[in-house]
Amino acid sequence: MTQGYVEAKEAFVDEIKVDEYIELEGSIRAYKQLEYSLERSLKMVLLFGKPGTGKTILLHRLYAQHKNKKDLHFIETPTGNRREFYDKLFTIFTGQKMPPNSTISFETFVAYGKKVKDERKIIILLDEAQMYPTEMLEEIRILSDTGSIKFVISLHKTDNEDLMAKKHFQSRIWETIELKNAELSEIRTYIHKRLLNQGLTEVANQLKDRHFKLIYRLTGGNMRECNKLLYTAFEIAEYYDKHHPAKLDYRRFPSKILEMAAIKTGMIHV
């Protein structure tokens, strides 16, 4: 007899769902900083944090809530191809697609930025900036210097990429916002809300304090790792529920299954 493990598993699919966004203390603080930065005359805003801390979904949420209020644009997928990047800039500046086989120089974009300085305040959300090659980062810096274009840049926090940000943008980054891994209390809130939002009260009640402490220890509070661990754990529980239900205690979730999921996902090495 199913105990909701199929639905519980699906609740932790690691994908961007802005309408199912769960606010945590750290992300609320970062989001408010982002909103405040949109109102300020900054050239660059840097949003950084380790992979899996929620930078991308925060940008998606910012875009969804402000795209109809501001001259706001989102370049989600990084491209190392200058032509593709210019195509996106052309669409942002003109509202049209660049004509096939046409050629526009970077200097043309810079000239446009300077021309509309007093007429438009364009904001571009740029995700995964560490994926852009050096020469394109330099062009982003130059565009920000025109005074009409503000970039909100998402960047992974590693030593190399911190150095990259300092090298290319230096004093042009006037606002720095860091997203950190979640605290234990936030992990508890996140998991409960994910389950309760799907109507899985019984499954949520199976998770006790010792489970949350174990999940926190295994994932370090990283949301992507948390999703991966819980998805795998409920997948294993689904198997036992279908084939060996006598081995499950439906009053409390088996910690052994969490450990099995950690082994399967590489969080525990045996």
Are both 150 and 198 inside the same structural domain? no
165-221 pLDDT, tens digit per residue, is 555 555 555 688 889 999 999 999 999 999 999 999 999 999 999 999 999 999 999
Q: How far is CA 127 from CA 57, 131, 229, in A?
A: 10, 9, 25
Which of the two residues, 208 and 269, has the higher pLDDT score?
208
Q: What is the CATH number of the domain that holds 135?
A: 3.40.50.300
Q: CA nearest 179: which of 56, 63, 59, 55?
A: 55
pLDDT for 127: 92
Q: Residue 34 pLDDT > 70, yes or no?
A: yes
Question: In this structure, is residue 269 part of a structural domain?
Answer: no
Q: CA nearest 152: which of 61, 222, 214, 80?
A: 61
Select from 159, 179, 199 the last residue of a domain.
179
Are both 73 and 155 inside the same structural domain? yes
Q: If you average pLDDT over each of 38-52, 131-145, 174-188, 208-222, which comes out highest? A: 208-222
DSSP class of residue 239 equals H
Residue 18 confidence class, pLDDT cut points 50, 70, 90: confident
Judged on CB neighbours under 10 Å (0-12, 13-18, 19+), 138 is: middle
Are both 126 and 12 inside the same structural domain? no
Give the mean pLDDT of 34-39: 91
Residue 32 confidence class, pLDDT cut points 50, 70, 90: very high
Question: What's the number of domains the chain is made of?
Answer: 2
pLDDT for 172: 56
Q: What's the pTM value of the predicted model, to 2 decimals? A: 0.87
Q: How many CB atoms lie within 10 A of CB 30?
A: 21
The Cα–Cα gap between 196 and 191 comes to 9
Are both 81 and 146 inside the same structural domain? yes
What's CA 9's distance to the chain center, in Å? Answer: 20
pLDDT for 170: 56
Question: In this structure, is residue 61 part of a structural domain?
Answer: yes
Question: In this structure, is residue 72 part of a structural domain?
Answer: yes
The Cα–Cα gap between 96 and 68 comes to 18
